[in-house]
Amino acid sequence: MATILVTGGAGFIGSHLCAALLAQGNKVLCVDNLFTGSKKNIQGLDGDFEFIQHDIIDPLFIEEKVDQIYNLACPASPTHYQHNPIRTVKANTIGMMHMLGLARKHGARILQASTSEVYGDPREHPQQETYWGNVNPIGIRSCYDEGKRVAETLCFDYHREHNIEIRVARIFNTYGPNMAADDGRVVSNFIVQALAGKPITIYGTGKQTRSFCYVSDMVAGLLALMNSDERGPVNLGNPGEFTVLELAENIIALTNTKSEIVFQELPADDPQQRQPDITLANNKLGWQPTVQLEEGLKQTIAYFTKSQ
Ligand code: NAD
Ligand code: UDP
């Protein structure tokens, strides 16, 4: 079996990915600075697992031979990536270069966790991989959006210049157990608010849309992409598109809460609509999501109910 390095492995998606790689019998090296991730997410992991507390903005040296790298190290919630935007840019540039350098040294294949945010506030709907995006280069989301765009550029330049084997996944909004209660993203916010009987905070009118993918489907997509011949970028997400208001109504119904909805100011540059075209993932990876929103929300609500 392989030795696989997962950066951001103590985070939400990363912890599920580590679990899946361990279940396949791989050795997993989990690298995380614990900014948004937590040891709780990786505590129960079974198998050949090593945790390395490290910030990818600093160079990383690994002695044993690494076969594959999944690079997920980057805060994903607007609240967190805007907390120290310069560090967010550094993680996606300097950190990305460190991971590509590591891949080069080890002859390892590297998968970059990119994002639907590279499409910005999209003018094409649904978004295909061929769309170049509509991103504000100087706004409050730019540290993340432009950071992830330059990370993709670095992957392709390292591939062209140094023949590194790259895989680029464009991940659309993903949710599920192991999201942090204070993460700030919409699904965790609404569930935590509903369970506490507190007001559900909709930013703007709630007419903006997102397409929500359950984490087990996302992990299956990441594994399929890493082990395929497709370099990407490949969209990974659930094409089921919902308004934020519909999401709130779903969560209110499923939790049976008495929480009321309150409307708050829409943050700057908040994309109006988002839906992945997953034809490429379907054709090249034979992948498509299987967990629909209601089922995924039930699992996530059960997780937050237990962990509160
Ligand atoms: P998360 O915040 O739960 O996980 C990120 C992990 O990276 C955390 O454990 C954090 O401590 C760690 N980290 C952050 N900066 C680091 C650094 N400089 N060095 C080392 N570790 C660092 O978020 P997530 O939702 O699990 O996202 C994982 C990856 O997937 C991120 O790269 C994110 O951009 C990408 N992504 C996620 C989504 C989503 O909806 N969840 C959507 C698009 C892209
Ligand atoms: N959102 C909201 N209330 C919240 C958190 C988020 O209405 O408490 C909205 C947010 O403005 C955005 C959508 O939900 O339109 C998704 O936000 P999230 O931060 O989860 O993801 P992203 O905007 O990065 O897709």
pLDDT at 168: 98
Is 38 a member of any domain?
yes
CB of 189 sitting under 6 A from ligand 2: yes
- Count the domains in the chain: 2
CB of 78 sitting under 6 A from ligand 2: yes
Angle of helix 142-162 relative to helix 96-106, nearest 10 degrees? Answer: 20
pLDDT at 203: 98
> Is 281 found in the same domain as 267?
no
The rounded Å distance from CA 9 to ligand 1 centre is 8
The domain that holds 67 is classified in CATH as 3.40.50.720
Share of the chain above pLDDT 90, in %: 98
> Is 251 found in the same domain as 154?
no
Q: Does the pLDDT value for residue 182 go beyond 80?
A: yes
Indicate the Cα dihedral angle 232, 233, 234, 238, nearest 10°. Answer: 160
The domain that holds 247 is classified in CATH as 3.90.25.10
246-257: per-residue pLDDT in tens? 999 999 999 999
CB of 203 sitting under 6 A from ligand 2: yes
Which atom of ligand 1 has the smallest separation from the CA of 57?
Answer: 18
Using CA positions, which residue lies closest to atom 10 of ligand 2? 203
Mark whether 70 is an active-site residue. Answer: no
Which atom of ligand 1 has the smallest separation from the CA of 179?
Answer: 3
Q: Does the pLDDT value for residue 308 go beyond 80?
A: no
269-305: per-residue pLDDT in tens? 999 999 999 999 999 999 999 999 999 999 999 999 9
Is 202 a member of any domain?
yes
Q: State the residue range of the domain holding 86.
A: 3-175+214-238+275-290
Catalytic residue among 144, 158, 175, 214: 144
> Is 77 found in the same domain as 140?
yes
CB of 30 sitting under 6 A from ligand 1: no
